[in-house]
Amino acid sequence: MPLSFLIFFGILFVLVCMLRAARIGALVAFLAAGVLSGPFGLNLFEMNQTWQLLGDMGILFLWFNIGLEINMSRLWNMRRTIFGLGASQVLTVAIMLFPVLFGVTRWSVLGCLMVALILAMSSTSEDLQLLSDRNELNTNVGNQSFSILLFQDLLSIPILAMLPVFAGKSFNLGAAAIDVFVLSLLLIVSVVFVGRFILNPVLKRVVKLKSREALLLTVMLNIVVWATVLDMMGLPVGLGAFLAGMLMSETIYRHQISAEISPYSMLFLAFFFIALGMGLNVPLLVDKWYYILVGLGGLVFIKFMALFMVSRVRGVLVPDAAFMALMLSQGGEFGLLMLQTMKTAGINAIPATSSEVLTAIIILSIMTTPVLLAIYDFLRRRGWIFAAYRPRSLDRSGLEVAPSVVILGFGRVGQIVAKLMETNGVSYVAIDMDVNAIVRGREQGYNVVFGNCKNGDVLSNFGLHPRKTNAVIIALDNAETAKDALLTVKSIAPRINVYVRARNLAECKILRKHGAFRALPETIETAFLLGCRALHHMGVSDAKLHSVLNELREDDYAGLDNSVRLM
């Protein structure tokens, strides 16, 4: 193992620990590690295509995860926010930046216009990750922020199409608009066809294999296929991954897929930010530090003011508007891509040195956003700003209400438990991995979903909450699986009451030892039921029967422990 790897991971470990202690996200640590280990730092690694590929995979996985959260109906409900708030934000920022750029530089009008547009874009990857880390994707501010970011990504298509203008070539706006319309229509038809006739049958067959590897590879293939198709059509690959996620968001496997893909998403996204940090030209930063710092401060200030004003005009609350404006105040990876594309294509809309300075400003703005949000949170905790404010969850987002009871396992026992909950008007969700049982259950009106009961992310996604969930019932027929599920539940909600199905007394003891509130042996309880029915028919009173049963059940069936050897 090369020494460079040891140094790199040592640097990364120290940075993550230090920044997390300061309540700053790990994204800044990844960026800083890239700067320190890159060609302009310790030169531990070369900035090559491998790093770029790993970073691109991070962007794809991030967009895929967001697609899983946004189904078709929610996207349709967001259309006014996307094209209203999103368009207003980009237009206002560009209008405010253009005269500043034209006044302080010697660039052409077209050059200033191009830079104003690309600086109006924010970092989709960073902002979505920040919202996810703060559990605010499904709040009003998260919904509005995502709408702006999605509009920015859609706007990247016509901006890329306008590159010939900045190269001094002719450009047919009408033809470009027709191309975009035809491509959009083709995409909609493709999504509906693939989702209904190809993806669902394939996923059903793959899930029946009960192989995590097969499911993961199916997901990755779906992402890469859509990203490749959109890339061939001249559209951003991130939108392809987003469509792939939206397709799977309409299936019953959505939460299980999200849990399986999440670790890989974070890993590849870390590579993206490390590669981004490697691209920061440190000698230029030292040489042009004054221009870069002034440009950084100006960019953040102008974008903050523009976003805040637009948000307030559209009726966004002051705390939401301030947070959203602060979070979206950085430059984005699309700006870096555009600057690199212009350089590669020989488009001299702005001088080469200015392009390097802009690249440094964008990267530094991405690094400063988590720091600014940490300061914002610090001021809020101290009660100096927005002390009483709490992010509001979406009221009509299509999200399920948190269930009172979570049932793990939907076999015969789980189905009866679910029926009892429905009869008594108790909200519940049942989780199982048997596709046939899930399909039959959903057809009969049960709230049953696909997921691995031993996966903590799946349980959390389906509503298991330390304070909101009243009870968990584990109705699995395998003792080892039940124990693993119990441990997972306790790791999420240590104080919650967990009732577990067991086959015998030995299993009951093990489950109680691992934290079960009640472990009920089905053999003994069945014997109790049979005996009570017979005694009741023979004239023994209900009070007497209850007294006997309570005595036998005391101390986890201690009275039966020595007398019933086979249990």
566 part of a folded domain: no
- Residues 357, 468 within the same domain: no
Q: pTM of the prediction?
A: 0.69
Q: Is residue 507 scored above 60 in pLDDT? A: yes
Torsion of CA 382, 387, 388, 394, to 10 degrees: -110
101 part of a folded domain: yes
Q: Is residue 398 scored above 50 in pLDDT? A: no
How buried is residue 65: exposed, middle or buried, by Cβ count under 10 Å (0-12/13-18/19+)?
A: buried
Tell which residue, 349, 309, 347, 334, has the closest CA to residue 89.
309
Query: How far apart are the C-alpha atoms of 295 and 365, rounded to whole Å?
Result: 10
- Residues 415, 327 within the same domain: no
388 part of a folded domain: no
**For the segment 303-350, what is each residue's pLDDT rounded down to a tens digit?**
999 999 998 888 888 888 889 999 999 998 788 878 877 776 677 778
- Residues 248, 284 within the same domain: yes
- Residues 357, 457 within the same domain: no
Higher pLDDT, 125 or 513: 513
pLDDT score of 296:
93
Average pLDDT over residues 471-492: 91
For the ranges 53-57, 94-98, 210-214, 535-539, the lowest mean pLDDT is seen at: 53-57
Token pair in block for residue 278: 């490697």
In Å, how far from its chain's centre is CA 407? 25
Number of residues that this document lists for the chain: 567
26 part of a folded domain: yes
Q: How confident is the model at residue 166 (pLDDT cuts 50, 70, 90)?
A: low
390 part of a folded domain: no
Query: How far apart are the C-alpha atoms of 260 and 279, rounded to whole Å?
Result: 31
H-helix or E-strand spanning residue 407: strand 405-408
- Residues 370, 434 within the same domain: no
Query: How far apart are the C-alpha atoms of 90 and 99, rounded to whole Å?
Result: 15
pLDDT score of 566:
44
- Residues 103, 155 within the same domain: yes
32 part of a folded domain: yes
Average pLDDT over residues 372-379: 86
Domain closes at, from 381, 414, 446: 381
pLDDT cut 70: percent of the chain above it: 87
- Mean pLDDT across the chain: 82
- Residues 372, 447 within the same domain: no
- HEC-encoded secondary structure of 409-421: CCCHHHHHHHHHH
Mark 421-450 as b/e (b = at least 16 C-beta within 10 Å): beeeeeebbbbbbbbebbeebeeeebbbbb
- Residues 446, 376 within the same domain: no
pLDDT score of 395:
44
| Residue 170 DSSP class | -
Average pLDDT over residues 46-60: 77
Q: Is residue 564 scored above 60 in pLDDT? A: no
Distant-in-sequence contacts of 132-136, Cβ < 8 A, 24+ apart: 132/65, 133/25, 136/391
Sign of CA dihedral 454, 460, 463, 465: positive
**For the segment 267-290, what is each residue's pLDDT rounded down to a tens digit?**
887 888 888 888 788 888 888 888
- Residues 376, 428 within the same domain: no
107 part of a folded domain: yes
How buried is residue 173: exposed, middle or buried, by Cβ count under 10 Å (0-12/13-18/19+)?
A: exposed
What CA–CA distances, in Å, run from 15 to 141, 323, 378, 436, 561?
Answer: 29, 25, 20, 48, 55
Domain with 198 in it: what CATH number? 1.20.1530.20
What CA–CA distances, in Å, run from 296 to 31, 73, 561?
Answer: 17, 39, 73
- Residues 530, 447 within the same domain: yes
Query: How far apart are the C-alpha atoms of 62 and 124, rounded to whole Å?
Result: 9
- Residues 69, 200 within the same domain: yes
Cβ count within 10 A of residue 191:
18
Domain count, the chain: 2
Query: How far apart are the C-alpha atoms of 230 and 244, rounded to whole Å?
Result: 11
Q: What is the DSSP string of 505-520?
A: HHHHHHHHHTT-SEEE
472 part of a folded domain: yes
pLDDT score of 567:
47
* Pairing relationship of beta strands 471-474 and 405-408 according to DSSP bridges: parallel
Query: Which structural domain range is residue 156 located in?
Result: 3-381
- Residues 410, 363 within the same domain: no
Domain with 499 in it: what CATH number? 3.40.50.720
Query: How far apart are the C-alpha atoms of 505 and 425, rounded to whole Å?
Result: 32
Sign of CA dihedral 378, 384, 388, 389: negative
Tell which residue, 152, 132, 155, 140, has the closest CA to residue 303.
152
Q: How confident is the model at residue 414 (pLDDT cuts 50, 70, 90)?
A: very high
Cβ count within 10 A of residue 169:
9
**For the segment 287-296, what is each residue's pLDDT rounded down to a tens digit?**
888 889 999 9
Query: How far apart are the C-alpha atoms of 53 and 212, rounded to whole Å?
Result: 24
pLDDT score of 396:
39
Q: Work out the angle between the directed axes of helices 333-344 and 352-381 (0-180°, nearest 10).
A: 180
Tell which residue, 127, 204, 210, 111, has the closest CA to residue 162.
111
